[in-house]
Amino acid sequence: MNVLIVSAHPDPASLTVALRDVAADQLRAAGHAVQVSDLYAMNWKAAVDRADFLHLTADEQMRPPVASMQAAAAGTLTRDVLDEQEKVLWADAVIFSFPLWWFSVPAILKGWIDRVWSSGFGYQNGGERYGAGRLAGKRAMVMVTIGGRESHYSDRGINGPIDDLLFPINHGMLYYPGFDVLPPYVVYRTDRMDEARFQETSREIRERMASLFTIAPIPFRPQAGGDYVDKLVELKEEIAATAPRGFAAHLDHRRT
Ligand code: FAD
């Protein structure tokens, strides 16, 4: 199978990159083909701006979704975006490796999503989204290193539950364009990493890589699965009545 790792850490000697390489080595040893998009090494341009839309005239208003749609239709998306889209289309699974920065992805990775998930690729796929869309049939997984302790991210933790913090990434950035999203692999309290823990973490990552194509995805509810009122796209009353409140309402554990 083909695996793309999108990697967002500025230092090749970091823990995050070392763990990314453990994953890549394991996948290659198992016979998978692996490509790595190392965003800092590529000097990835994170900001969406006029340079992305060569068809716009100098005084034309830039409406990013419209400009993105026009560029895709005219075949004028920039080469860096097209290269990344080709890698994603090549991949059967995409792994996102990054440190948690301000409770989210580093800006360079957000900028990769902003630009690579262009109109007709990440969104505006004829109404297909959340469990359908251009990237349906592919798997995606987050591998994240975190400074705080696991308890800070528990159900009662001050930072909020990790599944809630990752919901905009897993459900919004990944499930929306169609991926089957796998449970994340999270490394907490990274400043307390020592050799013994690194070896144990590496062992767990190798195990996760071995199950990349068999582990059950997070059981998000597909938009077209019958759980939502058609146009409003809110949960049907009878489902909402027994579902938990908040992000967890969009999980259906019977799908596990
Ligand atoms: P590194 O600093 O590279 O390494 C961490 C430790 O692992 C070091 O002790 C190092 O010696 C050891 N190590 C590295 N490589 C190896 C190896 N190969 N073998 C054995 N040991 C090794 N944290 C939060 O909890 N929530 C936040 O919202 C948050 N926001 C942040 C925002 C910013 C802008 C920044 C800079 C940090 C933030 N942090 C936050 C902390 C951040 O999540 C951690 O700094 C990050 O996870 C550490 O990963 P790293 O790869 O940079 O680790």
| 150 and 165 assigned to the same domain | yes
- 105 alpha carbon – ligand 1 mean position (Å): 13
Q: Tell me which residue has tokens 């998009």.
A: 37
pLDDT in tens, 109-167: 999 999 999 999 999 988 899 999 999 999 999 999 999 999 999 999 999 999 999 99
pLDDT at residue 117, rounded to an integer: 98
Give the pocket of ligand 1 (CB within 6 Å): 9, 14-16, 18, 99-103, 145-148, 190-191, 193, 195, 198
255 has a pLDDT exceeding 90: no
Whether residues 211 and 223 share a domain: the answer is no
Q: Which residues in 61-89 are b (16+ Cβ under 10 Å) and which e?
A: eeeeeebbbebbeeeebeebbbebbebbe
The CATH number of the domain holding residue 39 is 3.40.50.360
Residues 207 and 224 in one domain: no
Cβ-contact 233, 176 below 8 angstroms: no
Q: Which of 7, 11, 15 to mutate to test the pocket of ligand 1 (most atoms within 8 A of CB)?
A: 15
Q: Which pLDDT does position 174 carry in this prediction?
A: 98
Nearest ligand 1 atom, CA 17: 51
Q: Are residues 152 and 239 both part of a single domain? A: no
Supply 106's token pair: 């580093």
Can you tell me whether residue 143 is helix, strand or coil?
strand
Six-digit token pair at 159? 């930072």
- Ligand 1 mean position to 80 CA, how many Å? 28
Residue 229, domain extent: 219-256
pLDDT at 182: 98
Tell me how far the alpha carbon of residue 172 lies from the centroid of ligand 1, in angstroms: 25
Determine which residue's CA is closest to atom 4 belonging to ligand 1: 15
Q: What is the pLDDT of residues 12-50, one digit of tens each?
A: 999 999 999 999 999 999 999 999 999 999 999 999 999
Q: Are 147 and 189 in contact (CB under 8 A)?
A: yes
Can you tell me the distance from the alpha carbon of 8 to that of 97, in angstroms, rounded to the nearest whole number?
Answer: 6
CA of 74 from ligand 1 middle (Å) equals: 42
For the segment 62-79, the average pLDDT, to the nearest whole number, is 95
Q: Note the pLDDT of residue 231.
A: 84
Q: Which DSSP string corresponds to 219-232?
A: -BPPTTSSSB-TTT
Q: Clarify whether residues 70 and 187 are in a common domain.
A: yes
Task: Note whether 208 and 102 are same-domain residues.
Answer: yes
The residue to mutate among 146, 154, 165, having the most atoms of ligand 1 within 8 angstroms of its beta carbon, is 146
Do 243 and 121 lie in one domain? The reply is no
| CB neighbour list of residue 209: distance below 8 Å, 6 or more residues apart | 23, 26, 27, 30
Q: What tens digit of pLDDT does each residue of 73-115 get?
A: 999 999 999 999 999 999 999 999 999 999 999 999 999 999 9
In this structure, are 195 and 234 located in the same domain?
no
**Count of structural domains, the chain:** 2
